Amino acid sequence: MPSTKAKSLTERTGEALYDMILIQKQFKPGDKLPNEFELSARLGVSRATLREAVSALIAQGVLVVKRGSGTFIANELPSIGDVSISSIDFMRVRLSDLYEIRLMFEPQSVKLACERADDSELAAIEEQSKKVNRLLRSDGNWPDADQEFHEMIGAASHNEFISRLFPIINSAVHEVMLISTNQKLLKDIVRRDNALIVEFIMKRDGDGASHAMSIHIRHMINALKLNS
């Protein structure tokens, strides 16, 4: 018996975008996707809904993210029929869910780093935070550098599971940071919050660093409008 379950707005948005790319040929392989504001207006949906649709199409290989440049149509598009907009219940593991996971383990991760890291690891984390700041000032590829900053904290926790999990989580959340239209706010948050996190790390104040990391993640959730 066919399912009568109605498609979600995110599914319908993903299908509409998929149709624009593979059926209507409004975009060619290698073309850059319009910015989030323009595309959400064209599709008549919120930017939060568009983000989820874009994330699903990235997972399907229809779209690719080039760090520092934006989101592009894949050079080699999958065949029609190979793309399942509803796969894994249309990527129900949403960005909001990923940020909830970050709230669960990153504060504890940085606390462990304060306790377990050697002095050279802490110095490397501090130096990486300075690199992030330089790229923030020069409009360079700061999301990649910030991702590495968080991964270095994870590695300094000396917990193998955390070290393996960081790249998976960060690669997903940074895709949205790259296509967000609110770059100024994101940059301000990263600059301010990273400074506080590093201050506590260098003092080996695990509780302070944990609290600062928790606040940072909540700031990002609000900035990316993942709590709406």
What are the boundaries of each domain within the chain? Answer: 9-91, 95-223
pLDDT band at 198 (very low <50, low <70, confident <90, very high): very high
HSE value, Cβ hemisphere, 13 Å, CA-based, for 175 = 23
pLDDT band at 9 (very low <50, low <70, confident <90, very high): confident
Residue pair 200/209 in contact (Cβ under 8 Å)? The answer is yes
The two structure tokens encoding residue 188? 């301000």
pLDDT digits (tens, 9 = 90+) for 160-193: 888 877 776 776 666 566 656 678 899 999 999 9
Residue-level pLDDT at 180: 62
According to CATH, what is the number of the domain 9-91? 1.10.10.10
pLDDT digits (tens, 9 = 90+) for 101-140: 899 999 999 999 999 999 999 999 999 999 999 999 998 8
Alpha-carbon distance of 149 to 118, in angstroms, equals 16
The CATH H-level (homologous superfamily) assignment of domain 95-223 is GntR ligand-binding domain-like (1.20.120.530)
Task: Name the 3-class secondary structure at 73.
Answer: strand
Tell how many helices (H) and how many strands (E) occur in the chain.
10, 2
Alpha-carbon distance of 22 to 168, in angstroms, equals 28
Residue-level pLDDT at 23: 78
